[in-house]
Amino acid sequence: MKITLPGLRSIRRLYALFFLALFFFLLIIADFRRMQGFNVRLFLELDPLVAIGGLLTSQTLYKGMIFSVIMVVLTLFFGRFFCSWMCPLGIMNQIVGLGAGGLRPSQRQGLNAYRKIFRFKYHVLVVFLVVAAWGGLQVGLLDPIALVFRSMVVSVLPAVDGVMGLGIYPNGPVFHGGLVVAVVFLAVLLANRYLPRFWCRVVCPLGALLGVLSRWSVFGIQRDVEKCTGCNKCLLSCQGGCEPNGAWRPSECHLCMNCLEHCPEGALHYGLPKKGSSVHQPLDFHRRRLLETAVGSVVLFPVMRHSVSATTVDFPMLIRPPGSLTEEDFAKRCIKCAACMRVCPTHVLQPALLEGGFEGLWTPMLINRMGYCEHHCVLCGLACPTGAIRRLSVDEKIGRPPFVEPIRLGTAFFDRGRCLPWAMDIPCIVCEEVCPTSPKAIWYRPITITNRDGHAVTLKQPFVKPDLCIGCGICENKCPVGGKAAIRVSSVGESRSSTNRMLLTTHPGTPFSG
């Protein structure tokens, strides 16, 4: 009896379209008006690489990241289906790779043959896991879900929205270094023209992890050696480059099922092996080379901890979102996915370039000239899949009972050389007007002076009361002095740090690390 399932490729295509649509749906509804109760974190929570990376750095599987267990178990039994069935980046790569259809069959077969370079992704995985085992989470740089999320949020969607006016971002944001993110993303997509699924086959650390998990999967692509004529048509659209024409490689195969459809003899099926099914190949890696990579990676984290970055030095201009963990813990959890930047209503949240050191690349920071932290908004914590930004209630954020202290992001300081009432005898006090705390952190002292023309002028000269200031940055954002504002927030006084402080008495005693 013939057990080939002619429908499997179509089923995969339906799933792929569904998950791609779901990905965009969750991305587009992720804002204050449309988010409702949808779990916009879903794709990141399903990601086993994010889960394992975070587990290694912080010994905990945070909230929804338990969903990644489902992916691990399914992969153990069925193989690395995630890459062509669910992964938004994988599916986009596949769609871009369709261009290869124009080539001659022999060229396509050549492009889809297995290559030794596919081993590279296991090295990428090992580097990230070794660094994570030491306590540094950098998987977000190349994790496909984090990468595609970040690319969409800070480069592709704002650009598409700007050109087409779709209203995805009501406030038409600009993003810090969005171009760099876009170039990386475009490079990933265009690499498909050089080698189909270049990213998935060669670079992707999540693909590598799922490949390892697929090694012993029960079900697989089985080739009947008696029926197979060796025509290699199965390679025409093979996504993984997994050699269904010879000894199949379960760790490379995405179960795209294209080979089943292309086989003229019906020699291939997905399922259990039958009598006469060809052998499979184990994971292809060079043990010594991989070990060398692992040993080489061991030095990375200690070097990171002896480089100037936000984890080793308090950076005055690095202001983290409300509810962010201490910088040390933040670095153990943030995967640079930019989900917080998607939901931020004022777009004050921006991807850092080197403001937090190399370690902090693409982590969220506030740039108050771009926006400010909305007093009653807690969306960034809600969108964060890893808990780098805690989920706060509004009460906790603003310090309403039962909470005693508000969450402080930093402290505002006047630049009296630029401030209109201080330096130029011009009335202003916009900062005091917009200050959201009650009582206001910005107050003024009326003063009557004689101006240049000899007239008596009464001015209100503003001050910051540092124990009331929460560092939200609205004063800096709204300051009428263009360019460099006359009041600016720096990170000192932020609630999350026990060292980055200036006042003796405001902060209740917290354990110090030294």
Partner 1 sequence: MTAERKKTRPIKVQPEMGRRQFMVRVGTLAGVSTVVAGGGLWLHGDEPVRHRAVEVLTLKDFRVPANGLYPVMAVVHGENVETMVREAVQKLGGLARFIHKGDRVLLKPNVGWDRQPQQAANTGPELVAAMARLCQEAGAAAVWVTDVSLNDPGRCFARSGIEAAALQANAQVMIPGKEDFLATDMGGTVLRVWPVNRLFHAVDKVINLPIVKHHSLSGCTLSMKNWYGVLGGRRNQLHQDIHTSIVDLAAAVRPTLTVMDAVRVLKHNGPTGGSLDDVQKENTVIASLDEVALDSYCLNYLALRPEQIPFLAMAEKRGLGQVRWQNLNISETQVS
In this chain, which stretch among 62-70, 162-170, 406-414, 444-452 interacts with partner 1, using CB under 8 A? 62-70
CB of 23 or CB of 315, closer to partner 1: 315
- 49: enclosing H helix or E strand: helix 48-58
Structure tokens given for 299: 């030095």
Q: Which of 61, 212, 290, 317 binds partner 1 (CB under 8 A)?
A: 61
Cis ω for the linkage preceding 205 (within 30 of 0):
no
Give least dist CB 120 to partner 1, A.
Answer: 26
Shortest distance, position 505 Cβ to partner 1, whole Å = 5
Quickly count: other Cβ atoms within 10 Å of residue 432's Cβ. 18
Q: Does 501 bind partner 1 (CB under 8 A)?
A: yes
* Site for partner 1 contains 283 (CB under 8 A): no
Please tell me whether residue 199 binds partner 1 under the rule CB under 8 A. Answer: no
Question: Should residue 303 be labelled a site residue for partner 1 when binding is judged by CB under 8 A?
Answer: no
Site for partner 1 in 249-278 (CB under 8 A): 272-273, 275-278
Q: Does 227 bind partner 1 (CB under 8 A)?
A: no
* Cα 409 to Cα 406: distance, rounded to the nearest angstrom: 10
Q: 339: number of CA atoms within 13 Å, CB side?
A: 32
- Of the residues 3, 21, 66, 295, which one makes contact with partner 1 according to CB under 8 A: 66
CB of 56 to partner 1, least distance (A): 11
DSSP 221: E
Q: Does 212 bind partner 1 (CB under 8 A)?
A: no
Q: How far is Cα 401 from Cα 144, in angstroms, rounded to an integer? A: 42
Q: Hey, which residues between 126 and 185 contact partner 1 (CB under 8 A)?
A: none
Amino acid 404 reads: V
Whats the size of the chain, residue-wise? 514
- Which one, 176 or 332, has the nearer CB to partner 1? 332
- 306 binding partner 1? (CB under 8 A): no
Token pair recorded at residue 282:
């184990």
Which one-letter amino acid corresponds to residue 305? R
d(CA 40, CA 22): 10
Amino acid occupying residue 61: L
Q: How far is CA 159 from CA 21, 90, 168, 182, 355, in A?
A: 19, 22, 10, 10, 24
Closer residue to partner 1 in complex, CB, 276/296: 276
Contact 99, 189 (CB under 8 A): no
One DSSP character per residue, 356-367 reads T-GGGTT-EEE-
Residues whose CB falls within 8 Å of the CB of residue 52, separated by 6 or more in sequence, listed in order: 68, 129, 132, 209
**Would you give the DSSP letter of residue 63?**
G
Binding part of the chain for partner 1, among 15-23, 64-72, 87-95, 196-204 by CB under 8 A, reads 64-72
> How many C-alpha atoms does 424 have within 13 Å on its Cβ side?
10
Q: Is residue 29 near partner 1 by the rule CB under 8 A? A: no
CB of 87 to partner 1, least distance (A): 20
Helix (H, G, I), strand (E, B) or coil at 339: helix
Give yes or no for residue 77 binding partner 1 (CB under 8 A).
yes
* Residue 496 binds partner 1 (CB under 8 A): no
Exactly one of 8, 20, 46, 58 binds partner 1 (CB under 8 A); that residue is 58
CB atoms within 10 A of CB 300: 16
Smallest gap, in angstroms, from Cβ of residue 164 to partner 1?
A: 37
Taking the C-alpha atoms of residue 112 and residue 198, their distance in angstroms, rounded to an integer, is 10
Over the window 363 to 402, marking each residue x when it contacts partner 1 by CB under 8 A and - when it does not, the resulting string is -----------------------xxx-x------------
The CB-of-160 to partner 1 minimum distance in angstroms stands at 33
Binding site for partner 1 (CB under 8 A): 55, 57-63, 65-66, 68-69, 72-73, 76-77, 216-218, 225, 229-231, 247, 272-273, 275-280, 325, 329, 332-333, 386-388, 390, 499, 501-505, 508-514
